[in-house]
Amino acid sequence: MKFESRRVIVKAFPMTAVLLIGFASANGQAAPQEKPQMADDIFKNVQVLRGLTVDEFMGTMGFIAAALSMNCIDCHSVEAASDVTKYAVDTPTKQTARKMILMVKSINAGNFGGKQTVTCYSCHRSQNFPKNIPSLAEQYGVPPPEDPNEIDLVGEPRSGAPSADQIFDKYIQALGGAQQLAKLTSFVGKGTYEGFDTGDEKAPVEVYAKAPNQLSAVVHIPQGDSIRTYDGRIGWLTSTGTLLPIPVFDLAGGNLEGAKLDAELSFPGQIKQTLTGWRSGFPPTYLDDNEVEVVEGISAAKNPVKLYFDKKSGLLTRLVRYTVTAIGTNPTQVDYSDYRDVAGVKMPFHYTVTWTDGRSTTELSSIQPNAPIDASKFAKPAAARKTAAP
């Protein structure tokens, strides 16, 4: 069920968080920002979740899918898998979902000052129905390992732990040093991408990045080019190969903020300026049996972002950031590996992105540093069209 859940959701809304290695950007020449498309204008029969952008609306659908381990057609009709108009048809499950959303909103308003303390996941925990009887197997069994993404700093920082600045300085030095990083002003990467939106088949991908924070990523799939673009202020995503009734839609809210962060971190010499309120000294934490140093910062939208640095090498191995939806918070996890030397700078050639709508893996075979990149690479994408892979 969980595997199929991810597949169907991603087919409806692919690549919301792919290719997050970091790409480059803002030069002040971006086009004036347009009002993002609203879900009320694009989709029919939206009753409870009104006033959301398309991006925010689909992220909310992803939260429901993750919280209940259900896919699109578990709530909608089976016909919706091939006919987008059928998503508007009411079903008993959709009607129940509306009641549950209002119920949770009422609980939070009446008990927690409107804060999203209780969500669908609080009771369902990836089950179709919430459990109401204690499990003796869980009570007396071996506790599952702690999720390193949930590590938190309670009280004073760990004694003797390095400061955030010290961890960042070690990272910058491990990459090649500040002077070498400053020489990297753009890059073009080529390789393969695979995820549920490609049927788990490898597809050619190109990544274009320009400092300080412009990015574009193009995946060549049979339905056409699937493109994600951030020009330093505005972000877009094509809906290639999906049932969405619009060819291109705007990134908004947390997804837009995430695109900005990912772009800035692709040029890590500026890492200290990407967020505020940096803190370190978390309890000992491990990823795949390797000890990591955790640093947490706060985004402009006041959302926490965790960075995990290998304690031995000093390299960044994981990023976890969050997007607040109308009914709960979606996590996005990016794992970096296979660092190679590119013109004196170590860059990750392999990264995996995991989020509530799926998982994708990108493997770069080459990165060309300081390559000239036409400004059109960072412009709003045109409607997808089928093209031959280069």
pLDDT digits (tens, 9 = 90+) for 158-182: 999 999 999 999 999 999 999 999 9
Query: What residues does each domain of the chain span?
Result: 1-142+157-390
pLDDT confidence of residue 21: 33
Higher pLDDT, 166 or 138: 166
**What's the whole-number mean pLDDT along residues 145-166?**
91
Indicate if the pLDDT at residue 3 is higher than 60.
no
H/E stretch holding 228: strand 224-230
* Cβ atoms of residues 53 and 252 within 8 Å: yes
Q: 3-state DSSP helix/strand/coil percent for the chain, to nearest 5?
A: 30, 30, 40
CA distance 117 to 155: 21
What pLDDT digit, counting tens, does each position of 36-69 carry?
Answer: 889 999 889 999 999 999 989 988 998 999 999 9
Question: Is pLDDT of 2 > 60?
Answer: no
Of 5-19, 74-88, 123-137, 153-167, give the lowest mean pLDDT range. 5-19
74-78, 188-192, 219-223: which is most confident:
188-192
SS3 295: strand
Is residue 8 very low, low, confident or very high in pLDDT (cuts 50, 70, 90)? very low
Q: What is the mean pLDDT of residues 75-80?
A: 88
Is 121 exposed, middle or buried (CB count within 10 Å of its CB: 0-12, 13-18, 19+)? middle
Fold for 1-142+157-390, please state it: outer membrane lipoprotein receptor (LolB), chain A (2.50.20)
d(CA 34, CA 250): 9
Above 70 in pLDDT, residue 257? yes
Is the pLDDT assigned to residue 353 strictly greater than 90? yes
* Contact by Cβ (8 Å): 347, 370: no
Three-point CA angle 126, 131, 132, nearest 5°: 160
Q: Which residue has the higher pLDDT, 131 or 27?
A: 131
What pLDDT digit, counting tens, does each position of 82-101 carry?
Answer: 888 888 999 999 999 999 99
pLDDT at 243: 65
Residue 241 is predicted with a pLDDT of 62
pLDDT band per the 50, 70, 90 thresholds, residue 6:
very low
Nearest-5° Cα angle at 33, 27 to 35:
160
